[in-house]
A and B are shown apart, each in its own frame.
Chain A
Amino acid sequence: MWKTRITALLILALGFGIGFFVYKSELAHRKLSPDKAPTGLAKYPFKLGLDLYGGTHLVYNADISDVAPTEVADSMNALRDVIERRVNIFGVSEPIVQVQNGGFSNAGEERLIVDLPGVTDVSKAVEMIGQTPVLEFKTENPNPNAPQKAVVDKDGKVNITAPDPYVSTGLTGRYLEKAILEFDQTTGEPIVSLQFNAEGSTLFEKITRENIGKSVAIYLDGQPISIPTVNEAITGGKAQISGNFKPQEAKTLVGRLNSGALPVPINLISTQTIGPSLGAQATEAGVKAALIGFLAIALFLVIWYRLPGLLAVIALSIYVATMLALFKFIPVTLTAAGIAGFIISIGIAVDANVLIFERIKEELRGGRTIAESTKNGFSRAWLSIRDSNSSSIITALILFWFGTPLIQGFALTFLLGVLVSMISAISITRLFLSTLNITRTSNVTNFLFGSGFSSAKAQQK
């Protein structure tokens, strides 16, 4: 008997511990200044979804029509890495960049999903992802002395545009495989080395062969940054830009070129932005609903089921603390739908307890002692609990497997809730009830084990 009691005490202490952890870590996280890296307990905050934290959710459609089917997966992963790097440069905290592979449900479209928590300026977000540096190789204009164009604008000003000294060749950053920062061995000046892919190499060779003795201009974002003269045809697709760079400039350029070489063109198809105030309101409302719901259920359980009800409330509190701790540890990204799933799972957690208590009552009614009834009640209720929760588990699993992020948020908290609640109701409530070790039946125990308006004795008819 003492063994059970000690176990019960240990579980109670553990429950308190978990609850204390949730409380303390949340407090530590709140106190944290935003620019400091979280340490200790503050490392485990609740992870809020975009709809609660505010932020931007972008869905891009990748155009893979020019990509061989066997290379689609590679290009998509490369695309993800490029976008991820680019987003990271802009200092978004915890961005999520995911590839959604084509399949039956999305008609074979390859998609890229970008979640930017805290970024609510869509245009800025779209811009920072869409900003591909434009790298172009141009050759001398064969007709540099063409007449100047004069245009009179509506304010009466005359704009004279000189003909471009250079013309496009079709060789662009699209054919860039990678850019590397190097230093000139004699002068120590930084040089940006470019490596073209196979297609780009052929193009580069053709351009250089046709322009021996002439200059080729390398344009970055519409400005010439380097205008070397071609001495001979270059095979192998290697080019160098030595544009009197400062080391830092060269480094930035290499970064931009590398992150800028998108392997496949992308096209924005869906945007979702939630302002921070709306998110905060939703969070507050969700927490409020959960608290009130929990209190209402606790009150109901104690009034209706008395002593077992009280024990169930304790078990339920441990359940809630465990769930919250799991949300922090896994971590589960909480959305409004996810909080709803959790709130519903509180209701379902009660279900298991009610099934057990009703069973115990029946056993009491059958004339058994309280101890016997408790034991039988648990073992008989288990089948019902298992079967009734199985259908919820099936539903949650399919929802999670298939869902969009919104649905997954709900499915995950709901699934966790059902699983944890089964364990908590069966093991914790049972342990607590057996700890009491009630062997004698008296008026007091009859009252405590009664329910609703009748005592256990009145039910023993």
Chain B
Amino acid sequence: MFVIKHKKIFVAISIVLVILSLGSIGYFGLKLGIDFKGGSLSEIEYKTARPEQNVIDKALASLSLGEIIIQPTGDMGYSIKTRAVTEAERASIMIALGADATEKSFTSIGPSVGAELVRKSILSFILVSLGIIFFIAFSFRKVSKPVSSWKYGFIAIITLIHDILIPVGVFAALSHSYGTEIDTLFVVAILTVLGLSVSDTIVVFDRIRENIRVGHWKTFEETVGKSLEQVYTRSITTSSTVIIVLLCLVFFGPKSTKVFAMMLTAGMFFGTYSSIFLASPLLVMFNTKKK
């Protein structure tokens, strides 16, 4: 009953977290990566000695590639970002960098491919959200008293927005220090957080649904409170196990999925937090307000 009793405090904490995340997004900004806006990225490694950055700057200046962003990576490498380049331009970049440089990876994405990904991402986001709303409304259709099943769906969506905004805020802060940009994996992370967060909220709602049917407790408030007491161990245990594997992915996994795993960790953590400390209090608040 602790959570329900102090529901205002927990809802307030969530609001503060969301505001902080929005602040982080606004302050650090979200940079679109080449997956979305098109462009090229070369990961270069020098075999014997890495030249100074201004040497590279000078070497590439004559190629008229527009804006070039050069960042040192590791001890021997550079990452070079330019606009989308043709095969001939790529070859001339490699010549300009000298024979000692080897290309570890090269990506060039045309603007139309980027635009396609933007459309696809938005469409999948809408579809996933719709799919989840309908699923919740459907699976809770039999429990329309005392709270209509659409309300469960509506609250699940508020919870979702909360669960997504926070990892995006974390990402904005991370991108500031790691220089990461929004890429395909970012979209995957967001959509996966969507799925995981809803699944957690559903477990809580599912228990409330069951307890309403059993009818042990008199008030709706009490039912929600008791239901939470029954499920929170499970919620915390499972999200800890998922977080354990995610942290393994962060610390030992491939570099390419590091930020992805960090976002999922944040999403998982706040997803669990929100299903206990946000979704249920909101459910009670929505219900008492009406009376």
Contacts and interface: CB of A to CB of B under 8 A. Distances in A.
A415 to B, nearest CB: 11
A59 B113 contact: yes
A362 B230 contact: yes
B249 A355 contact: no
Contact of A355 (B139, B203, B243): B203
Nearest to A276: B104
The majority secondary structure among interface residues of chain A is: helix
Interface in B184-242: 184-185, 187-188, 191-192, 194-196, 198-200, 202-203, 206-207, 210, 230-231, 233-234, 237-238, 240-242
Count chain A CB atoms within 10 A of each CB in B123, B230, B231, B254 and give the residue with the most: B254
Nearest to B184: A406
Q: Which of A277, A294, A343, A380 has the most CB of B within 10 A?
A: A343
Interface in A374-403: 380, 383-384, 387-392, 394-396, 398-399, 402-403
A273 B112 contact: no
A337 B261 CA distance: 10
A159 interface: no
Contact of A104 (B119, B184, B246): B119
Interface in A37-95: 51, 59, 61
Interface string B249-262: 10111111100110
B120 A403 contact: yes
Given A282-B255, A285-B253, A351-B238, A402 B120 contact: yes
Contacts of B103: 273, 275
A275 B105 contact: yes
B110 A270 contact: yes
B111 to A, nearest CB: 9
Interface stretch (B1-9, B127-135, B163-171): B127-135
A251 B243 CA distance: 61
Interface in B48-103: 84, 86-87, 90-91, 102-103
A354 interface: yes
Interface in A237-258: none
Nearest to B256: A336
Contact of A122 (B90, B113, B199, B241): B90
A358 B108 CA distance: 50
Most chain A beta-carbon neighbours within 10 Å: one of B135, B206, B252: B252
A364 to B, nearest CB: 13
Contacts of A354: 234, 237-238, 241
Interface stretch (A105-113, A179-187, A219-227): A105-113
Contacts of A392: 195-196, 199
B242 to A, nearest CB: 3
Nearest to A362: B230
Contacts of A358: 231, 233-234, 237
A399 B191 contact: yes
A13 interface: no
B264 interface: yes
A337 B257 contact: yes
A292 B254 CA distance: 13
Contact of A289 (B87, B106, B252): B252
B264 to A, nearest CB: 7
B195 A350 contact: no
A383 B132 CA distance: 17
A347 B106 contact: no
A384 B106 CA distance: 45
A346 interface: yes
Indicate the size class of the contact surface on chain A: 35 or more
Contacts of B237: 304, 354, 358
Contact of A292 (B91, B127, B248, B261): B248
B7 to A, nearest CB: 23
A271 B108 contact: yes
B110 A269 contact: yes
A123 B195 contact: no
B161 interface: no
Nearest to A340: B257
Contact of B185 (A273, A388, A406): A406
B143 interface: no
Contacts of A289: 248-249, 251-254
A108 to B, nearest CB: 10
Contacts of A337: 185, 188, 256-257, 260
Contact of B206 (A268, A285, A387, A403): A387
B245 A402 contact: no
Interface in B242-283: 242-246, 248-249, 251-257, 260-261, 264
A353 to B, nearest CB: 9
Given A392-B196, A398-B128, A348 B107 contact: no
A107 B112 CA distance: 8
A319 interface: no
Contacts of A51: 256
B25 interface: no
B105 A274 contact: yes
B17 interface: no
A350 B238 contact: yes
Given A351-B241, A355-B203, A390 B230 contact: no
Nearest to A59: B113
A337 B86 CA distance: 28
Interface of A: 51, 59, 61, 104-107, 109, 122-123, 126, 268-275, 277-278, 281-283, 285-286, 288-290, 292-294, 296-297, 300-301, 304, 336-337, 339-340, 343-344, 346-348, 350-351, 354-355, 358, 362, 380, 383-384, 387-392, 394-396, 398-399, 402-404, 406-407, 410-411, 414
Given A297-B241, A336-B256, A391-B202, 12 more contacts: A59-B113, A123-B87, A275-B104, A278-B104, A293-B244, A347-B242, A351-B241, A358-B233, A390-B135, A398-B131, A406-B188, A414-B192
Interface of B: 43, 84, 86-87, 90-91, 102-110, 112-113, 115-117, 119-120, 123-124, 127-128, 131-132, 135, 139, 184-185, 187-188, 191-192, 194-196, 198-200, 202-203, 206-207, 210, 230-231, 233-234, 237-238, 240-246, 248-249, 251-257, 260-261, 264
